[in-house]
Amino acid sequence: MVDLYPSLAQCAIVATAFKVLLFPAYKSTDFEVHRNWLAVTHSLPVKEWYYEKTSEWTLDYPPFFAVFEWLLSQAAQYADPAMLIVKNLNYDSWHTIYFQRATVILSELVLLFALSRFVKSAPQSTKQLAHISSLSILLSPGLLIIDHIHFQYNGFMYGVLILSIVLARKQSTLLYSGITFAILLCMKHIHLYLSLAYFVYLLRTYCLDPKSVFRPRFGNIIKLGLGVIGVFAIAFGPFAYWNQLLQLKDRLFPFSRGLCHAYWAPNIWAIYSLADRVLISLGPRLGFSVNQEALTSVTRGLVGDTSFAVLPEVTKEHTFALTFLFQLLPLIKLWRSPGDWDAFVGAITLCGYASFLFGWHVHEKAVLLIIIPFSLIALRDRRYFSAFRPLAIAGHVSLFPLLFTAAEFPIKTVYTILWLVLFLFVFEQVAPVPDRPRIFPIVDRFSVLYLAVAIPLIVYCSLVHQLIFGLERYEFLPLMFMSSYSALGVVGSWVGFMVVYFTA
Amino acid sequence: MPLPPSSYRPRKKRKLSLSSSGSNNALIVDTGNDKHIPAFPLVSFLWAARAGVSQWLVLPLILMAVGLFRWAVSLWGYSGFQVPPMHGDFEAQRHWMEITIHLPMSKWYTYDLQYWGLDYPPLTAYHSWFLGKIGTLFDPSWFALDESRGLEDPRLKVFMRATVIVSEYLIYIPAVVNFLRRYTQMHGVPVWSASIALAAILLQPSTILIDHGHFQYNTVMLGLVVASLDAILAGRMLWACIFFVGALGFKQMALYYAPVMFVFLLGICVFPRRILIIRLLCISMVTIAAFTVLIAPLVVGAVSTDGRNDLFSVPLPPLLQALPIELDKNSILYAPLLQLAQVIHRVFPFARGLFEDKVANAWCAIHTFYKLHRFETTLLQRVSLGATLASILIPCCIIFRHPRASFLLPALSTVAWGFFLFSFQVHEKSVLLPLLPMTLLLAGDGGLSKETRAWVGWANMLGSWTMFPLLQRDGLRVPYFVMTFLWAYLLGLPPTSWEIYRSRPSSDDSNSPHEPHMFTKLLHSCFYLAMVAWHVLEAFVPPPLGKPDLWVVLNVLIGAGGFGLAYLWCLRKLLLQWWMIGSKVPTEQDPRKKNQ
C-alpha cells in the first residue's frame, strides 16, 4: 500500500493560503499587461482586439488566451468595472488586485487537475514517485515567483501541457493529447518550441503503424488532422476572415527585439556575452580587434540589439539553425522508439532545452518549459535525477532577478531554498537505482560543488555587492554573475541529460 | 552524510514503525484492513518524517515554512498605517528607536510624553536603541529626531518588519524549540509528534497576526518566558530567574506569569523535605542582581549633571508626590530615584480606567449590562485586585505546595487567564499571554489527542476572533481569515472539519479519556457557530441605528464567556494532575500505557 501523504489537495490548500497572503506583494508590469487585456477584450469587438494600442502592452498572445481574458472579464465587471476601461492605464485598485491575483490561483486548478490525472495514470509501482513529482511541480518556486508575485498565468497553461502529456500516455487518448496541445498552442505560442516532439511522436505512434513505418493508419491521420486543423480554424479562422492574419503575425512574433532579454536568460548567449566582456579587457593584450562602436553602445545587454565587441555577431538565422539542430537529435531517437512515453517526455524536455539555450530573445521565465516536463520523468531513476539537480538549482536561482524589491527577497530565497532542500532530499531518497551503470560519476561531484557555490553567490549578489559598490555602480555585475552561473548549470544539466537520454 | 552515490548502493527501506505510544495513536488513525491514515492534515505534511528523518532536516524545514508565513503576513498593513496624526503601534516602536538613539537616557522616559512617550520597561528601550542604531546605518532619515514622525517609507516598513522577525528567530524560536525538546522528552513523547506539535505551536495565528501584522515585539517577551521555563525544566533555576526578569524588563505584561513563577521558585526552596535557605538566597540574589543590571544604565544616565537637570525640569512623578516625607534634592541618590519613579509611573499607568476600548474580559462584559462608571476608580481597582487574586489563588497554592515542572503550563495558563479576565487595564492583545502556555500543552503527553487539541485549538480560534475588530482596523482582514483558517485546517478544527468531535465507533476503550466529552462537543459547537454567525452579521448586516458598536460588544460578550471556559478548563487540567498525586498513582506510569 503506498502512502500518498500529503495529498495534492492538502498541499494545494496550504499553498493557496500562502499565495493569498502574497496579494500585496510586488507585481511587475505584467499585471498591467493582463489588466489591459481584460479591458481590451471586454470593451472592444473581436475585430479590434489585435489593433488596439492605447496601452504600450498590446495583446500579443494567441486568440484562445484572449478568449480566456474575455471570460475573466465577464467576472471582473462584478469586482471592479473600472479595471475594464481601456484608458485606465496602470489602474490597480485593491479590488483589481484581489480579482486578478485570485484568477491566477483559481486558474491553477487546471494544473492541480492535470497533476492528479498524472498520478492516476502512473502504474502502481511508480505511483508514489509520480505523486512526489506532482507535488514538486505544484509547489514549484518557479510558478510561485512568476505567477503569484511577478504575475502571469503559467500554472494554468502548464496544467494544459501536462494534461496533454498525460493523455499521450495511453494509445486510446492520443488523439485528445494532440488536440489539447493544439489548444495550448492557441493560448501561448511559446509552446511551439515543443511542437516538433509532439509532431514526431504523434506521427510515429498514432498515424503510422508502430511495427512498420510504411503502413499509415489513414483513419487516425484524418481524425488527428481534422481535430488539429479544427482547433486552429476556430482560433484563427475569424481573423483570417477579416484579413487580419498579418497583423496577428506581427503581434505574436515581434522580431525587432535583441538576442538577449534584459536579464540575460541563463543560456548559451549569456555565456557568449560574458566571454565577450572578458575579451574586451583581455582583447588588446591578445591582439583581438575591439569594436569600439559596440563598446559605447548604451543598450549593451539590455533590450534592443546586443552587439558584441570582440566575438562575431549572432543572427536570428544562427539561433534558429542551432535550435533546430539540437531539437533534431532527440527527435531521431523518439522516431525510433514508437509508443515510448518516457522517451516522448524526454524529447519534450530536450526540445525545451534546445530552444531555451539557443533561442532568440529568450526570457528567463521560459526555463519552466524545461523544468516542468523534466519533473515528470526526473524520478525515473538516479541518472535522470542527477541531470535534473543542477537544472532545478540553476533554473530557480536564475528567476531571482525578476523580483528585485527588498520585501520579496526573503520570500523568493527562503521559499526556493525550502523547496530545493525538501525535494532534492526526497528525490535523492526515492529515486530508484538504474539498470545500467552511469557514465560520468564525476558529474555528481560537480553538482555538489555547483550547489555549494549557489549560497555565497546569492549572498554576494543581493547584499555584499550593494555594500561594496552601492546601488548604482556596476549594477550589471550581479546580474551577469547570476546568469552565467545559472547558464553553467543549465548547460551542464542539458549535456548530462543528453547522455542519459541517448544511453537509456 | 550519504555516501557518494557513484557506487549505487540500494537505499535501505526503513521499516515504518508504528510506535504504540499514546501520543502516536492520536496521530495515526487505523481504519481497519491494515490501512493507516493521518488524523489531521498537519500530520499528513509530516507523514514522511514518521520513519525517523533527521531533526537536522525536519527542523529547518519547519522553521523556514513558518517563517514564510510570518513574512507573508508582514506584507500587509500595520497598526496606524495612514492614520495621522498619531498613527499606531508601528509608529510608537519607530518613535522609540528615534528618541533612544538621539536623546540621553535621562530624557527617554520624559521626552514629549504626549506623542508616544516611552511606556515600556527598560529592556524594550535598549532593544529600540539597538535597532535604531542598526536602522540608521541603512538610512538615517528613518530615525531623524522629530523630523521622522509618521514616516511611511516602504523600505522603513521592510526594515521594521525584519527587526520583528529577526528578534523572534533569535529569541522566541530557539526558546520554543529547546523547551519542546526537553518537555517532550520529559513526557516520553516521540520526536515525530514533537515536530508536529512544534509546527502547530509556531503557526499559532494570534501571535503571528499581532507581531507581524499589527506590529509589536511580543515574541521577545514570550520567548524570554519560554526560555525561563526551559531553564526550570533543565534544573537551572538561576537562569530561569534571569530570563524571567528579562521578560518582565521587556514588557510589563509578563506580570501575568509572575505569581506562578514566584510561588514555584519559593516552593522549590521550601518543600523538598527541608527548607533550602541557600537556594532561596541564591534565587533572590540573582533576581535582584538581574534587576540591578537591567536598570543600571538608566541610573548611571541619571547621575550626570545633564541628566539631573533633565530630570528636575519635568513634573514630579505622582509616586514621589504621594510620599509623606520631603526628600533631599541635593542628594546624589535623588536623581536616580526620580528616574526610577518616572519609569515606574510610565510603565504602570495606575491612573487609567478599568479597561480601555472593548476587551473580552469580565469587566467589559459586566459593563455592558451594568455600567461600572458609577463606582469610584479606587473601589473598582480594589474589586479588580480582589477578583484577580481570588482567581489565581488555587493554582498558586497547588504550585507552591507541589512545585513540579509538569504543573507549570496548566498553572501558568490558568493564572494568565485569571489576570486577563479580572485584572486592570487589559488589552485585547494580552490574550496572547494565556494562549502561549495553553498552546504549549500540545507538546505534552496526549497533547495532540482529540481532547487537548480541541480545547487548545478552540481557545486559539476564539482568541484571534476576539482580536478581529482590532485587526480589521489595521487592514488585516485577509491575513486574519487566512491564518485562522490555516490553523483550523491543519489541526482539523471547525469550521474546516468536525472530525475532531466525532468519535470513532471502532476504537477501543483505551482511547476514551482522550475523546472530548459530550458537553465539550456541545459547547464548542455553539461557540464555533456563534463565531461564524458573527462574521456573517458583521460583514453583511449594518448595526442598528444608535448602537454602532453592537457587533463589537457581541464579540466581547461571547469572547469573555469563552475565555472564562478556557480558564475553567485549564484549572480543571491542573486539578486533575494534582489529584493524580493525591491518589498515589505516579503520573509517569499512566495505566493506559501498561495495557499496551
DSSP assignments along B211-241, one per residue: IIIII--HHHHHHHHHHHHHHHHTT-HHHHH
The pLDDT value recorded for residue B302 is 84
Identify the weakest region by mean pLDDT among A450-464, B126-140, B163-177, B457-471: A450-464
Give the nearest partner residue to B76 out of A13, A24, A433, using CB atoms: A24
End-to-end CA distance of chain A: 29
Q: Please give the pLDDT value at position B312.
A: 79
Cα–Cα distances in Å, from A37 out to A256, B131, B261? 22, 45, 63
Q: Which residues pair with B37 in a beta bridge?
A: B29
Quick check: helix, strand or coil at residue B583? Answer: coil
Burial B320-336 (b: 16+ CB within 10 A, else e): eeeeeeeeeeeeeebbb
Rounded CA gap, A299 and A455, in Å? 30
Q: Average of pLDDT values for B495-502?
A: 84
pLDDT at residue A326 in the model = 94
Partner residues linked to B426 by β-bridges: B355
For A21-35, the pLDDT digits (tens) are 999 999 999 999 999
pTM, two decimals, is 0.92
- Name the amino acid, one letter, at A68: F
- Is A441 close to B6, i.e. CB distance below 8 A? yes
Average pLDDT over residues A393-399: 90
Sequence-ordered list of residues with C-beta below 8 angstroms from that of A24, at least 6 positions apart, any chain? A97, B75, B76
What average pLDDT does the segment A239-248 reach? 92
Q: E strands along A443-489, which residues?
A: none
First to last CA, chain B: 36
**Taking a C-beta distance cutoff of 8 angstroms, is the pair A83, A35 a contact?**
yes
- pLDDT (0 to 100) of residue B477: 94
Q: Which of A430-439, A490-499, B575-584 has the lowest mean pLDDT?
A: A430-439
The values of phi and psi at residue B591, to 5°, are: -60, -30
Beta bridge partners of A260: A362
A1 touching B, CB under 8 A? yes
10 Å Cβ neighbour count for B534? 17
Average pLDDT for residues A173-200, to the nearest whole number? 94
Bridge partners (DSSP) listed for residue A208: A216
CA dist B297 → B125, B339, B426 (Å): 11, 11, 30
Chain mean position to CA A214: 36
pLDDT at A361 > cutoff 90:
no
Please name the residue of chain B whose CA is at the shortest distance from the CA of residue A381. B8
Report the share of chain B in percent with pLDDT over 70: 90
Q: Is the peptide bond before B5 cis (omega within 30 degrees of 0)?
A: no
Residue A103 Cα distances to A153, A281, A344, A368, angstroms: 9, 49, 32, 20
For the ranges A166-180, A253-267, A369-383, B546-560, the lowest mean pLDDT is seen at A253-267
- Chain B segment 411-470 residues within 8 A of A by beta carbon are none
C-alpha cell at A460: 554576494
A44-to-A41, A91, A434 alpha-carbon distances in Å = 6, 18, 57
| Mean of pLDDT values over B125-145 | 94
For residue B504, the model assigns a pLDDT of 62
For residues B184 and B47, the answer to whether their CB atoms sit within 8 Å is no
Q: How confident is the model at residue A1 (pLDDT cuts 50, 70, 90)?
A: very low
Identify any residues that bridge with B355 across adjacent strands, giving them in sequence order. B426
Contacts of B15 in chain A (CB under 8 A): none
Average pLDDT over residues A354-359: 93
pLDDT band at A97 (very low <50, low <70, confident <90, very high): very high
Return the DSSP state at A435.
Answer: S
Residue B511 predicted with pLDDT over 80: no
Helices H / strands E in chain A, number of each: 22, 0
Is the pLDDT score of B416 beyond 70?
yes
CA distance A481 to chain B (A): 25
According to DSSP, the β-strands at B28-30 and B36-38 are antiparallel
Q: Could you read off the pLDDT of B435-470 as tens digits, one per residue? A: 999 999 999 888 888 889 999 999 999 999 999 999
Rounded CA-CA distance B524/B439 in Å is 17
Mean pLDDT, all residues of chain A: 88
Q: Do B44 and A6 touch (CB under 8 A)?
A: yes
Judged by average pLDDT, the poorest of A186-190, B218-222, B292-296, B506-510 is: B506-510
Mutation test of the interface with chain A: which of B9, B29, B47, choosing the one with the most A Cβ atoms within 10 A?
Answer: B47
Rounded to an integer, what distance in angstroms lies between the CA atom of residue A416 and that of residue A395?
A: 11
DSSP H or E segment with residue A371? helix A368-377
A418 → closest Cβ in B37, B65, B72: B65
Q: Check pLDDT > 60 for residue B49.
A: yes
The secondary structure of A236-299, three-state, reads HHHHHHCCCHHHHHHHHCCCCCCCECCCCCCCHHHHHHHHHHHHHHHHHHHCCCCCHHHHHCCC
**Closest to A316 (Cα-Cα) out of A264, A352, A269:** A269
The Cα angle at residue B430 between residues B427 and B432, in degrees rounded to 5:
150
Element (H, E) at B30: strand B28-30
- Residue A107: all three cell numbers together: 486558474
Q: Which whole number is the average pLDDT over A417-435? A: 90
The answer for residues whose C-beta is within 8 angstroms of residue B414's C-beta and 6 or more apart is B392, B394, B395, B567, B570, B571, B574
Q: Which three cell numbers stand for residue A253?
A: 512574433
Instruction: Find the CB nearest A444 among B4, B47, B154.
Output: B4
Pair A202, A194: CB distance under 8 Å: no
- B75/A25 CB distance under 8 A: yes
Residue A263 has pLDDT above 70, yes or no: no
Encode burial over A321-346: b for 16+ CB neighbours within 10 A, e otherwise. ebbeebbeebbebbbebbebbebbbb
pLDDT above 80 for B319: no
Smallest CA-to-CA distance from B256 within B267, B244, B240, B268 is with B244
Is the CB of A410 inside 8 Å of chain B's CB atoms?
yes
Q: How far apart are CA B96 and CA B160, in angstroms?
A: 12
CB < 8 Å to B69, chain A: 17-18, 21
Range of weakest confidence among A150-154, A302-306, B64-68, B395-399: A302-306
Q: Are B411 and B395 in contact (CB under 8 A)?
A: yes
pLDDT at B342: 87
Lookup: cell for A186:
492557441
Contact at CB, A6 and B8, closer than 8 angstroms: no
Nearest Cα residue to B573 out of B432, B408, B397: B408
- Is the distance from CB of B115 to CB of B109 less than 8 angstroms? no
Residue A38 and residue A263: Cα distance in Å, rounded?
27
- Which residue blocks in A359-441 are alpha helix, DSSP H? 368-377, 382-397, 409-430
B490–A contact, CB cutoff 8 A: yes
Mean pLDDT is lowest, of A73-82, A91-100, B360-369, for: B360-369
Grid coordinates representing B193 are: 509528534
- Bridge-partner residues for B387, per DSSP? none
With cut-offs at 50, 70 and 90, classify the pLDDT of residue A305: low
Alpha carbons A100 and A98: distance in angstroms, whole number: 6
